[in-house]
Each structure stands twice: as structure tokens, then as C-alpha cells.
């Protein structure tokens, strides 16, 4: 058995070592060389989603240039180019996915989380139908519905009577 002074010495040594190890392991609040006010860029997952969407847009543009539909192709080609340019700028300027989505250029599929164009009806990844928040509502077909007369119970000169039997 160790003398009491030796056991106290070892306990203090162990306590000091533990504190030192915990202090070093905690590190500094901000790692060296990084400005705490520096704007954070997109995560690796966000960059992956943006690059994947960019590749899909390039393939779509190539397919449109191969086809010969003049008017439809030109309008869609302009929309594809605008979205492609916005994605390239977002990647170059290190914009986050939230900033890209806020710009309204792209949206996210509610089913799989993939980036989709705001003008697309279906997700290119999972095929899920996209909400129509960015698309115009379809025009109603046929004549407008007839309104039924409103009966208020108040006395008026025009009272509808049921047809006789």
C-alpha cells in the first residue's frame, strides 16, 4: 500500500492530466485560419445536387438542339439555358442550396429531394408529380357552372314555388 501522500500526488497528477487532455481535445471555438464572420459555402451534398442537375440540363439542351421543333424548342432552350446559367453561377459563387431555391430557379422534389426545374411537372429522378405552385392553373373547360338560387327565408316578392304535380 502506498503512503497517503503518494496516493494524493498520483490523484492530483491524474486530475491535471485529465483536465489538460480535455482542454486540448475541445480545441478552440474557431479553428485557426478561419474567420468566424466568413460566409459558409454549400455542403458537399448541396454541390452534388447542383452538379447533378447541371448535367441533366446539359443533356436536355443537347437533346433540344438535335430536335428540330423551332418555336417550342427555342422557348424551352431559353428556359434550360437560364437555369443552367443560374446553377453555374451558384456553384462559382459558392451559394448554398437554400439561396438557390430562394431565387426561384429550381425547386426540390418533395418525394426524393432532388433538384427539379420549377416548370417541370414530374421529377426526373423518381417520377413523382410536382406541386403546381409555380405552374399556371389550367383554364376551366366548358361553360361556367350554374348558380342555385339562394333561399334566405326572408319575405320577398319573388318566391319560388315548386312545380305542381
Q: Which three cell numbers stand for residue 16?
A: 491535471
What single DSSP character describes residue 151? Answer: P
For the chain, how many residues are written?
165
Q: Is the dihedral of CA 63, 67, 70, 71 positive or negative?
A: negative
* CA quadruple 92, 97, 101, 103: dihedral sign: negative
Place of cell 441533366: 56
Can you give the pLDDT of all 165 residues of the chain as single tens digits? Answer: 555 677 888 889 999 999 888 887 776 676 667 676 666 788 889 999 999 999 999 998 888 888 766 666 788 888 889 999 999 999 999 898 888 888 888 888 888 888 888 888 888 888 888 886 544 445 456 565 566 665 655 555 555 556 665
Question: What does the pLDDT read at residue 137?
Answer: 46
Looking at residue 123, what is its pLDDT?
Answer: 86
Q: Give the pLDDT of residue 51.
A: 93
Q: What is the pTM (predicted TM-score) of this model?
A: 0.56
Amino acid at each position: 500500500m502506498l503512503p497517503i501522500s503518494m496516493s494524493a500526488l498520483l490523484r492530483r497528477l491524474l486530475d491535471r492530466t485529465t483536465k489538460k487532455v480535455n482542454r486540448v481535445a475541445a480545441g478552440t471555438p474557431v479553428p485557426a485560419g478561419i474567420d468566424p464572420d466568413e460566409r459558409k459555402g454549400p455542403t458537399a451534398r448541396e454541390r452534388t445536387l447542383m452538379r447533378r442537375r447541371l448535367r441533366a440540363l446539359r443533356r436536355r439542351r443537347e437533346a433540344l438542339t438535335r430536335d428540330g421543333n423551332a418555336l417550342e424548342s427555342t422557348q424551352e432552350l431559353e428556359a434550360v439555358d437560364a437555369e443552367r446559367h443560374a446553377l453555374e453561377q451558384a456553384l462559382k459563387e459558392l451559394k448554398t442550396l437554400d439561396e438557390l431555391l430562394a431565387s426561384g430557379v429550381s425547386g426540390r422534389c418533395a418525394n426524393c429531394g432532388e433538384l427539379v426545374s420549377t416548370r417541370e411537372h414530374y421529377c426526373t429522378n423518381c417520377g413523382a408529380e410536382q406541386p403546381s405552385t409555380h405552374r399556371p392553373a389550367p383554364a376551366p373547360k366548358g361553360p361556367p357552372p350554374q348558380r342555385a338560387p339562394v333561399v334566405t327565408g326572408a319575405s320577398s316578392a319573388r318566391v319560388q314555388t315548386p312545380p305542381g304535380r
